[in-house]
A and B are shown apart, each in its own frame.
Chain A
């Protein structure tokens, strides 16, 4: 994977050859996907959302197309952390930094999951905490919706997991300022901005919501401006490294997120439309840099903020 310009970035201590990370829930565990040919343009891979125990996921309709977007309600179908750490990952080549996306439901499950990941011969380079799942112990509200939930999660995770710990925010959280403060004080190393946006669909032929769980996560180009705005706001609130996530569909979208303050950018739904999207994005970014005589993409991080008075 070589480009004529320097696309390498770092997120804290994590170095990547390109700024593009495969977002959680898009990359199969099948061997061929972990070979160089499939990984073109990709800097790192985030795993399927993991729970301590295997999960069958949701019944009923799981995906639904919307104008320029995709609603999904997969329900964390995954083989469980034990199989992931013990069999699946050790059986795959490690050609990119691996980000283990851990879905937080119960705190004791979280602790056990991180123990298992930490104990691997070659642990993941990063743990990314998904705090958009319901707090099963405490009323079912998502952990990431308020500062106290975020802090509780980090207070369990931080002492156990010694590597880089990323927090994937939920865009449904009303108080971004409090969330970022809790993430900083709780010891998160970076923030992923953000998870999917809650939406829904009604099948008017059946006169009923499409999804068994009524609401579902919206992703794709439809959410890009929303995610970019949230990223911009987050960058105003914290000095933590940020990873943009939400609807990028071109190299220019990736650049926009980097210019808004992201160190790296996650790509999800774009892969659904075009499997080799990361490679195209990298070529587009590389051409952009070349045309302007710029040497590295990392030098553009946050450049759109320069000279702007922050208005909140």
Chain B
């Protein structure tokens, strides 16, 4: 029935790369696609990250939230100081981490059970690193984003995920509570100013 909103994780010439975890029927269908299969794609939709202006650009990814931040890293990582931080839950994510290393992406990893990288969360990594003049971009589970928001970065942007139906701004199925009202993740987002999002309402 519905399309699936996915972030572009990298781009090379005319190829766009997607990263996804098999979670339900949609991603299951993606995972069983064969080479040469045709997909119907609508996009790019909505608004992306702004041009970074902070002293350093710290990218905080929670698991699959890596996708848009990997794209950001490949766009800005070489040209300005910053770090890519990735938090995962357990050793099931080893494949993703190894894939990143093979890709030559320098990335600090934290793992809840300590089986990969440092024991802890991506928020722990960020907390140790963050300085007042830094800019933080985050994408991941809501609880992680709330914890990042609590660190109160001066410039803070988040890429949010929501169940989405129309994807063009009509149905209001994917709204995010913000200081400017409930805004549509599909066209007003998915990137929002993290200081504008009403995190407590989002978690309800």
Contacts and interface: CB of A to CB of B under 8 A. Distances in A.
Secondary structure at the A interface, as helix, strand, loop or mixed, is loop
Interface of A: 25-28, 30, 33, 48, 56-57, 59-66, 68-70, 72, 74, 77, 212, 220, 271-273, 275
Interface string B1-18: 111000000000000000
A239 B173 CA distance: 36
Among B3, B169, B177, max chain A CB count under 10 A is at: B169
Interface stretch (B78-86, B129-137, B144-152, B158-166): B158-166
Nearest to B42: A275
B42 A62 contact: no
B171 interface: yes
Contacts of A62: 163, 172-175
A59 B163 contact: no
Nearest to A220: B1
Contacts of B47: none
B204 interface: yes
A63 B171 contact: yes
A61 to B, nearest CB: 6
Contacts, number: 73
Contacts of B25: 65
Among B168, B169, B175, max chain A CB count under 10 A is at: B168
Contact of B169 (A30, A77, A212, A273): A30
Contact of B181 (A33, A56, A271): A56
A272 B175 contact: no
Contact of A25 (B168, B171, B204): B171
Among B164, B173, B174, max chain A CB count under 10 A is at: B173
B170 A61 contact: no
A57 B163 contact: no
B98 interface: no
B204 A60 contact: yes
13 contacts: A28-B168, A56-B182, A57-B182, A60-B204, A62-B172, A63-B163, A63-B165, A64-B163, A74-B172, A74-B173, A271-B166, A272-B171, A275-B166
Contact of A63 (B42, B168, B169, B173): B173
A48 to B, nearest CB: 8
Nearest to B181: A56
Interface in B1-45: 1-3, 25, 42
Interface in B166-204: 166-175, 177, 181-182, 187, 201, 204
B104 to A, nearest CB: 37
A304 to B, nearest CB: 28
Given A74-B171, A272-B2, A63 B182 contact: no
A285 to B, nearest CB: 23
Interface string B114-153: 0000000000000000000000000000000000000000
B1 A273 contact: yes
B204 A28 contact: no
A70 B169 CA distance: 16
B173 A28 contact: no
B1 A63 contact: no
